[in-house]
A and B are shown apart, each in its own frame.
Chain A
């Protein structure tokens, strides 16, 4: 009886705590989502649209540009996200050391990229990576290369520029979450491990990483979605070029919506492709997690 009351109490509190957020999301999320789902079955230009059944899905299946955008996005995702997460984690751990001097300064400096304005840093990146920019001059000065690398005019090298740009901008941002989370680890655990003679890297792998797992998961999902929605850098540095080499899903959706003949039905459908990818990734992640649980 008492147990039942406790359960009901838990239920009431559970809903009560999330209620304000649910009401707001219900208003500002559910209606737009339903609208966009409905739109994704509409064909036509601008305001003159009509129900097109599966016509948009057919168009999707034949869309070579979408395929290119998808593969570019996946390349960015596979290469960039791990590099950034590892870097951010290492910086956070280094800066969490209480004996390190100038910690506050270092933290702030590493955080600077994500507040530096997009307009400023994208024009600077473009000039640094231009044919006669400092990067090429430095590499040629050091005799690493003989001829300038066509950073911004070759699809392959342009991808490298974009990956560097996103890593540069977002590593400090991810570091914040780790710094905050590191405070939640009881320092006595480290003390005990140190006394037991466990080396630093083992302490990092065996204590820090497992303790930070929820936040690492959070930043990984965040970066995944961030990459799938990558827009600012490609729009400002390469405009998706050269030769569609840095066209991303999000830029493609933007082009479909605002730069080409407006066909909102189709651009809505492409948006749902991103949602579908995330759904598939989550299911995969769910199965991996379940298998691991079984074996342990």
Chain B
């Protein structure tokens, strides 16, 4: 029993230490959002009273509703479409194996490693020819079939019990019904993780939106933050406030969805 207490204590101590290291920069960011720029630079670590002023400065430079609206629209549409298209493909590659598709998959994994900078110019030509410049479609379309998420779903599907699928087949379910009514509910935690990851990626996407979104009204919050830092004497209080605001949506999504990591799929197996 003593060794149990010791081990527990050690686990808590280590987790608390790691949590402290993880939180500190975030804490600094939040505190900085309430301080004047000069205080941020000199490393003040206590909350200040400049939050309202920072917010007013930010709101006067940026149409926050519009910009956050753009970011939410792009991130939500991207997430939903990516999850649908990429989980279908990941499931398809794992469940229905064939030599040809296996080769296709290996090729995709190789494509995953191509740096985006190498593909950006031709992709831009493509988008311009389709007259999609400066539209959200230009941002969203190229990200929907994410090789990375396809790969993730394929790996996660390896844990999907075959018995479930066989049973469903015996019951006369069609393949799309099996995916929709058996696979999808079973893999809740996988979908939860993928939602967090895809949303975060879409929300923070920088280089590609920078190239295709051209007018100020269409910019995302990630692009706007970058322009805030460009000044010769940047206002760090305002920048940190903007980054805190930009962080919240992903954080909330994580906090809500992480409960799925507990629920699990055991009920479904038995």
- Contact segment of A58-66, A140-148, A269-277: A269-277
- Contact segment of A77-85, A120-128, A153-161, A288-296: A120-128
Q: Does B22 contact A (CB under 8 A)?
A: yes
A228 / chain B contacts, CB cutoff of 8 Å: 113
Determine if A115 and B247 form an interchain contact, defined as CB atoms under 8 angstroms apart.
Answer: yes
Determine if A32 and B123 form an interchain contact, defined as CB atoms under 8 angstroms apart.
Answer: yes
Determine if B19 and A104 form an interchain contact, defined as CB atoms under 8 angstroms apart.
Answer: no
- A14 vs B92: C-alpha distance in the bound complex, in angstroms? 5
A–B pairs, 7, beta carbons within 8 Å = A15-B92, A21-B88, A21-B145, A28-B123, A95-B15, A124-B29, A183-B263
B26 / chain A contacts, CB cutoff of 8 Å: 112-113, 115-116
Known contacts A10-B98, A180-B156, A183-B189, then 10 further A-B pairs from the complex at CB < 8 Å, ordered by chain A residue: A17-B175, A22-B89, A112-B26, A173-B197, A176-B197, A179-B193, A184-B265, A217-B155, A221-B151, A222-B151
- Contact segment of B59-67, B70-78, B212-220, B254-262: B254-262
A173 / chain B contacts, CB cutoff of 8 Å: 197
A4 / chain B contacts, CB cutoff of 8 Å: none
Residue from B22, B111, B156 having most chain A Cβ neighbours under 10 A: B22
Q: Does A268 contact B (CB under 8 A)?
A: yes
Residue from B25, B88, B115, B145 having most chain A Cβ neighbours under 10 A: B115
Q: Does B112 contact A (CB under 8 A)?
A: yes
Contact of B261 among A127, A179, A253, A271 (CB under 8 A): A179
A282 / chain B contacts, CB cutoff of 8 Å: 106, 109-110
Could you list which residues of chain A lie within 8 angstroms of chain B, going by C-beta atoms?
Answer: 10-11, 13-18, 20-25, 27-29, 31-33, 35-36, 91, 94-96, 98, 100, 103-104, 106-117, 119-121, 124-125, 127, 168, 172-173, 176-177, 179-187, 211, 214-215, 217-218, 221-222, 225, 228-229, 249-250, 253-254, 257, 264, 267-268, 271-272, 274-275, 277-279, 282
Contact of B109 among A13, A108, A221, A250 (CB under 8 A): A221
Could you list which residues of chain B lie within 8 angstroms of chain A, going by C-beta atoms?
Answer: 11, 14-15, 18-19, 21-23, 25-26, 28-29, 32, 43, 84-86, 88-89, 91-93, 95-98, 101, 104, 106, 108-115, 117-123, 125-126, 141-142, 144-145, 147-148, 150-152, 155-156, 158-160, 175, 179, 189-190, 192-193, 196-197, 200, 225, 229, 239-240, 243, 246-247, 250-251, 254-255, 258-266, 269
Determine if B96 and A10 form an interchain contact, defined as CB atoms under 8 angstroms apart.
Answer: yes
Determine if B261 and A24 form an interchain contact, defined as CB atoms under 8 angstroms apart.
Answer: no
Q: A10-B96, A28-B123 are in contact. Are A127 and B43 (CB under 8 A)?
A: yes
Determine if A271 and B141 form an interchain contact, defined as CB atoms under 8 angstroms apart.
Answer: no
Contact of A271 among B110, B114, B151, B197 (CB under 8 A): B114
Determine if A21 and B192 form an interchain contact, defined as CB atoms under 8 angstroms apart.
Answer: no
A73 CB to nearest B CB, Å: 12
The A-B contact count (CB < 8 A) is 251
Determine if A177 and B152 form an interchain contact, defined as CB atoms under 8 angstroms apart.
Answer: yes
- A109 vs B119: C-alpha distance in the bound complex, in angstroms? 36
Q: A274-B115, A282-B110 are in contact. Are A13 and B261 (CB under 8 A)?
A: no
Determine if B110 and A275 form an interchain contact, defined as CB atoms under 8 angstroms apart.
Answer: yes
Q: A17-B91, A29-B111, A176-B197 are in contact. Are A119 and B229 (CB under 8 A)?
A: yes
Determine if B85 and A28 form an interchain contact, defined as CB atoms under 8 angstroms apart.
Answer: no
B106 / chain A contacts, CB cutoff of 8 Å: 282
B251 / chain A contacts, CB cutoff of 8 Å: 108, 112, 115
Contact of A187 among B88, B109, B151, B266 (CB under 8 A): B266
Main secondary structure of the interface of A (DSSP, over half): helix
Contact of A94 among B15, B28, B121, B246 (CB under 8 A): B15
- A120 vs B126: C-alpha distance in the bound complex, in angstroms? 35
Contact of B85 among A21, A222, A267 (CB under 8 A): A21
A18 / chain B contacts, CB cutoff of 8 Å: 88-89, 92-93, 101, 104
A23 / chain B contacts, CB cutoff of 8 Å: 145
Determine if A33 and B111 form an interchain contact, defined as CB atoms under 8 angstroms apart.
Answer: yes
B126 / chain A contacts, CB cutoff of 8 Å: 27-28, 31-32
A185 / chain B contacts, CB cutoff of 8 Å: 159
- A109 vs B259: C-alpha distance in the bound complex, in angstroms? 14
A11 / chain B contacts, CB cutoff of 8 Å: 96, 98
Determine if A183 and B22 form an interchain contact, defined as CB atoms under 8 angstroms apart.
Answer: no
Q: A36-B118, A250-B115 are in contact. Are A172 and B22 (CB under 8 A)?
A: yes
- A211 vs B155: C-alpha distance in the bound complex, in angstroms? 11
Residue from B23, B118, B160, B260 having most chain A Cβ neighbours under 10 A: B118
Contact of B196 among A27, A168, A176, A229 (CB under 8 A): A176
B22 CB to nearest A CB, Å: 5
Determine if A17 and B115 form an interchain contact, defined as CB atoms under 8 angstroms apart.
Answer: no
Determine if B156 and A184 form an interchain contact, defined as CB atoms under 8 angstroms apart.
Answer: yes
Determine if B113 and A274 form an interchain contact, defined as CB atoms under 8 angstroms apart.
Answer: yes
A18 CB to nearest B CB, Å: 4
B144 CB to nearest A CB, Å: 6
